[in-house]
Amino acid sequence: MNFFRIVSPRFILVFAGLVSLTFVTCPAVAEDDLGKVIAKLDASAAKFKSAQADIVWDNVQVKPIEDDDKQTGTAIFARKGGQMQVAVHLKSDNSKPIQKDMVYADGVGKLYEARLKQMQVFKVGEKRSELETYLTLGFGGSGKDLEKGWDVTYQGVELLNGVSAAKLQLIPRDPALAKTAPRVLLWIDMDKGVALKQQRFDAAGNYVIFSYSNIHLNGSLPSDAFEIRTAPGTQTVNH
């Protein structure tokens, strides 16, 4: 599933990239309108330094053949020198143990798959700012920046694992992007001002869901959070 054709389709597949949650729709109240959500995101972004969370990454293909691939691990976000760094360390794929590490920092993305003994390196180049816009959705991105790049619609309040979340629908303002990534749904924790869940659709109706839990904000991170340790004999492939 190619969600965002900003750079290499393989890189976008990995990061856009980037759940079995029971939720109950609740009546919207005045305090949870779009303006309040945008203000909450602005306040969270102003003090954002880092976030660490457990992640469930669910790729759902509906066309041409139905398929569901669910991976779990940890996700780490950090702001350094005004730029966002993101790491995803996956430990299971459909309940089977794996080691897959993805890191984005300083305009370079890396994907390591232990079973293949292969490290792929992607240089984002002129598309860096566009990619980082996606990587900050719900973690470190301000409400004002969100409205610059997307038509944002408030869709009420839902409970995700007992946490009140404001649901937003995002439609890209860029017509070219809208052809391949027509819609994103975003659930914002109205206490912490970060994402609890994202659902991103492609033009065929396939989608990916990122679900976050056990979220820790602005705490200390492991010193090697954005490093990838490879096995001897690993091949590096530059794109």
pLDDT tens, residue by residue, 105-148: 888 999 999 999 999 999 877 767 667 667 778 899 999 999 99
Is pLDDT above 90 for 165?
A: yes
List the chain domain ranges: 9-219
- What is the rounded average pLDDT for all residues in the chain? 84
Inform me whether the pLDDT recorded for 15 exceeds 70. Answer: no
Cβ distance 134 to 17 under 8 Å? yes
pLDDT greater than 80 at residue 32 = no
What's the rounded mean pLDDT across residues 62-69? 89
Q: Give yes or no for a contact between 177 and 4, defined as CB atoms under 8 angstroms apart.
A: yes
Q: What's the average model confidence in pLDDT over 62-74?
A: 92
Distance from chain centroid for Cα 28:
26
pTM of the full structure:
0.83
Least confident of 10-19, 61-70, 230-239: 10-19
Residue 80: band (very low, low, confident or very high) from pLDDT cuts 50, 70, 90: confident
Residue 194 phi, psi dihedral angles, 5° rounding: -130, 170
User: In CATH, which of 3.40.50.11540, 3.40.50.2300, 3.90.1150.10, 2.50.20.10 is domain 9-219?
Assistant: 2.50.20.10
- Between residues 109 and 13, the one the model is more confident about: 109
Average the pLDDT over 2-8 and give the result.
39
Going by C-alpha positions, the residue among 119, 198, 145, 114 that lies closest to residue 38 is 145
